[in-house]
Every structure is written in structure tokens, then in C-alpha cells.
Structure 1
Amino acid sequence: MVIPTYNEALTIGKAIDRTRTSVPDAHILVVDDASPDGTGAIADELAELDDHVHVLHRGGKEGLGAAYVAGFGWGLSRDYAILVEMDADGSHQPEELPRLLHAAENADLVIGSRYVPGGRTVNWPYKRQAISRIGNTYTRLALGTALRDATGGFRAFRASALRELDIESVASQGYCFQVDLAWRAVRGGLRVIEVPITFVEREQGESKMDGRIVREALWRVTHWGAVHRARQLRALLGGSRR
């Protein structure tokens, strides 16, 4: 379980405890970006008491995508079979992990989805929910993918899939990082499935979402979509000439 943190001192302990209870055999890697509030130190203390908890300290705040890439690299180098993305703020319910892990037995990537039947959000501000829904609709239209929640950040990857996705070349952050990996998986012919989850608005701490992340996602998805459609058009024209 790869859990990136930046100023999550109020929630990291509970997130780890709930995860250990839900999936006792799982190992947890906290990837901390030198949180000023001492999150990394708290994680270190928990790791000293539990050999299933590990901490990867980074030099500063470098973004969600870079944190996950570092965490995945750590896990792949130690031959873990499945690597999971999960927030530390309580938005992702650790009690739903068994469902994701069970689904991963027959898939390369499992996305915990808010927008498939059975999925839902709880106490999420209307503005945030609107941005998410519009972003996912735009992603489906631009990329021609059937995924309902390409921006969702609660997901499980098989290690073999991550090795195919060339994660070291991923430069995207935030929403866009999630779209990037899902889009790579779809283009690569990997089996991607969505399972319903309940996404709960955090009760403590502050969201890391900002306008820069939204703008990056819009630009990158538009670019990827244009390239994808151009390739489709070239293939169509090439086939018609024959």
C-alpha cells in the first residue's frame, strides 16, 4: 500500500491502523515529502513498532505523481506482487481494500470508482464534485475510453502491469497522473476494471487540489486526445487507400 503524505499528521496514524486491520498481511509504505507538520516522524515511530510499515523520506514537496513513482519503484525493487495507491486523509476507505485486491486477481489495474453503479461520494463539496465529474466526462470524450473514473486515486496495480507502463517516464501530477497511468494501461491492452467505492470528504487537513493541477490535466488530456484522434484518422485514411 503506497500512501503519499504531505502534512497528514492528523490522519496518518488512523489510516495505517485501519489498513492494517483491513488487510493484516499487507505492507504499507508511507512516502513523505518532508512534511513540515511532522508526518514523517510519526510514520517513523509507527514503523519502529510494526515491521509491516515502512517510510520513504523525500527531500521536499515534489508532487503526487513523483511520490507514487518513487513508491512504486521501492515496491517493484522488493518484488511485491500488487501495489496499491491510497490517500492518507480518510477519503479512501481501507475497509474496501479487500474488494480491490480480490478484483486484482483477474485484472492488471483495478480502479476504485465513484461513478460506476454502487459507487458514491459522501460530504464532498459541490465544486469539487463538479470538477471531478466534468473532468472524467471530458477524459472519456477526448481519449475515447470507457472508464468512468479515470481520475480516481484508489487503485491496485499488478507489478507486471507497472513494469509495462514505463512509470519512470511519467511526469504528470494530481488528477493527470491518474489519467496518465490509466490511459497507458488501456492503450497497452492491459485489463482495466472498475469496482465501486465510497469516497468520503476528508474531515481533517486541507486538500492539495489547486488550479494548477486542473490546468495541467486539461492541457495534457487535450494533447493526448488530439494525438490519439490523429492516429485513428491516419489509420482510417491508410486503410481506405488500400
Structure 2
Amino acid sequence: MPASPFDFKQSILIVLPTYNELANLEALVRAISQYLVADIVIVDDNSPDGTGELADQLSCRYGHVHVLHRPHKEGLGPAYLAGFTWALHREYSLILEMDCDFSHAPWDLPRLVHRSLTADLVIGSRYVPGGGTENWNARRRFVSRCGNTYVSLFLGSTIHDWTGGFRCYRRELLARMNLATVRAKGYIFQVELAWRAVQLGADVDELPIRFCDRIEGQSKLGWQSIAEALMEVPQMYLLGLGSR
């Protein structure tokens, strides 16, 4: 752990979507603050376990923590879009996203931001040399590998980890993406935004990370998300999303 958090010149916002993350949220907010000077916006989808109430408490306690409450669960994509839109109405230079379950290591945040000095989009990647996964069962590894291979068949091998959710976007790139037209709602949202970045000619870089399966709470990856991916990826290719 560093003696003090890394403080970059750019203004930074981390978007944290939450749904039933009561067991993880406070610990993650504290951990982020140990490694990086950044604002945080928690986007809660009306979690029945009290995550939203805890988010409000954290916002009152810490001036750099903000909260967006959404009326019901709509999926990962709409939650991130709400956070990104909120960010673009303010003066943040870099907008980061990460999971709220410690799957993405808070100590990797400074590395992610530093890499953004030479890229428009940096993706924390499990599938470049030095990256990998921990505590995944065979089914999870199979689904993830097959998913990325499937995406690459349609969209090319420009990106190795299309579905990775540990990212840093430059403000200018998000502003060019026409977020109001994003179609995907589940985990395939990550693919759509990466594809839009590629179509816009953005500099996309991948940073090797170790992705660790959640310790607390339940995974939200289900067959509905997989089915959405099977249908949406070919449409992205055919429609050329991101070039509009």
C-alpha cells in the first residue's frame, strides 16, 4: 500500500454500478481512496439489501463520493450510461469503471490511469501476457474465453478482452460516442463501447491485470446476458455501431 494515494493532474471519476453490494461497497470505497485521488459516483439500481442507503451514508461522510439512485434494476449498461452521462455534465478528464466486488484490484487503478496518458481507452485485460484470472471455476473460464472468441470472430482481434469491465476512458472519447444510441443492456455493453471506440479510430490499449472472482455476494452473470451477446454482436458488426 502506498504511503499516500496517487494524485494525477487530471480530474478523475470512478463509476461504480451497484446492485446488492452491501457486503463490498464501503470496503471498496475506502480501498480506492488509499490508492487514487478520485471522485466516485455510485449508481444504485434500488438494491433491496440496503446498498443504496449505505451509499447515501458514504456520500454524507466523504465529499468525493456521489450517488445516483435509479428506480429499478435495468442492467449493467444503463447503469454505466447514467454514470457516464453524469460525468460528462461535469469537468472530469478521465472516467473509470470497475466492479464493486473487488474483482478488479484497487491497487491497479494508478496503473490504469497512467496508461491513459498515451491512449483514449485503456482496458484492464485478462487475455494479454501478464494478465489472467483467479478463483474461477471451469464453467466461468469457458464462458469468458468463448465469449471473447465469439466477439473476435465478428469484430476482429484488435482487442483481446472485449468484455473486460475495468476501464479508463478519456472524456473526449465518451463525448464522441453518442451514448444515447447505445443498445446493449447487460455485460455485452462493454463490447459495444469498445467497438464504438475502435470504429471511431480511438487509441485503445490493454493493461494486463489479474481478475479475481468475487469473495462476497453473488455473481450477476447469467444465461440472459449470454443470450444477449449472441444476438447483439452480429448486429454490431452489420450496423457498424460507433461509426454513426
Fold-level match, TM-score > 0.5?
A: yes
Counterpart-to-counterpart distance in 1, 2:102 and 2:55: 16
- 1:95-143 deviation per Cα after TM superposition (whole angstroms, max 9, x unaligned): 1000110011111100000010010101012111111111111111211
Partner of 1:231: none
Deviation at residue 171 of structure 1 after TM alignment: 2.2
From 16, 20, 29, the counterpart of 2:33: 20
Deviation at residue 225 of structure 1 after TM alignment: 3.0
Counterpart-to-counterpart distance in 2, 1:6 and 1:64: 9
Matched, 1:41 2:74: no
> Counterparts of 1:226-237 in structure 2 under 5 Å?
226-227=238-239
Three-state SS of the structure 1 residue aligned to 2:197 is helix
What amino acid does structure 2 have at the position aligned with 1:119?
Answer: G
Partner of 1:7: 20
Indicate conservation of the 8 Å contact 1:142/1:226, yes or no: no
Three-state SS of the structure 1 residue aligned to 2:110 is helix
Counterpart-to-counterpart distance in 2, 1:15 and 1:52: 14
Matched, 1:205 2:217: yes
Partner of 2:166: 154
Partner of 2:7: none
Partner of 1:183: 195
Deviation at residue 169 of structure 1 after TM alignment: 1.1
Counterpart-to-counterpart distance in 1, 2:182 and 2:234: 17
> Counterparts of 1:1-242 in structure 2 under 5 Å?
1-23=14-36, 25-227=37-239
Three-state SS of the structure 1 residue aligned to 2:188 is helix
What amino acid does structure 1 have at the position aligned with 2:139?
Answer: K
Three-state SS of the structure 2 residue aligned to 1:175 is coil
Partner of 1:240: none
Fraction of identical pairs, as percent: 50
Indicate conservation of the 8 Å contact 1:66/1:171, yes or no: no
Counterpart-to-counterpart distance in 1, 2:221 and 2:35: 28
Deviation at residue 173 of structure 1 after TM alignment: 2.2
Counterpart-to-counterpart distance in 1, 2:236 and 2:85: 25
What amino acid does structure 1 have at the position aligned with 2:87?
Answer: G
What amino acid does structure 2 have at the position aligned with 1:129?
Answer: R
Deviation at residue 227 of structure 1 after TM alignment: 4.9
Counterpart-to-counterpart distance in 2, 1:175 and 1:146: 19
Moved more, 25-34 or 167-176: 167-176
Three-state SS of the structure 2 residue aligned to 1:102 is helix
Counterpart-to-counterpart distance in 2, 1:158 and 1:223: 26
Indicate conservation of the 8 Å contact 2:74/2:185, yes or no: no
Counterpart-to-counterpart distance in 2, 1:209 and 1:180: 17
Three-state SS of the structure 2 residue aligned to 1:29 is strand
Counterpart-to-counterpart distance in 2, 1:164 and 1:216: 25
Three-state SS of the structure 2 residue aligned to 1:21 is helix
What amino acid does structure 2 have at the position aligned with 1:209?
Answer: L
Alignment root-mean-square deviation, CA: 1.0
TM-score (normalised: structure 1): 0.91
Three-state SS of the structure 2 residue aligned to 1:174 is coil
Three-state SS of the structure 2 residue aligned to 1:48 is helix
Counterpart-to-counterpart distance in 1, 2:191 and 2:17: 18
Highest Rg: 1 or 2? Answer: 1
Return 5+ residue gaps in structure 2 as ranges.
1-13
What amino acid does structure 2 have at the position aligned with 1:135?
Answer: G
TM-score (normalised: structure 2): 0.91
- 1:132-172 deviation per Cα after TM superposition (whole angstroms, max 9, x unaligned): 11111111121123211010000010010001111121120
What amino acid does structure 1 have at the position aligned with 2:180?
Answer: E
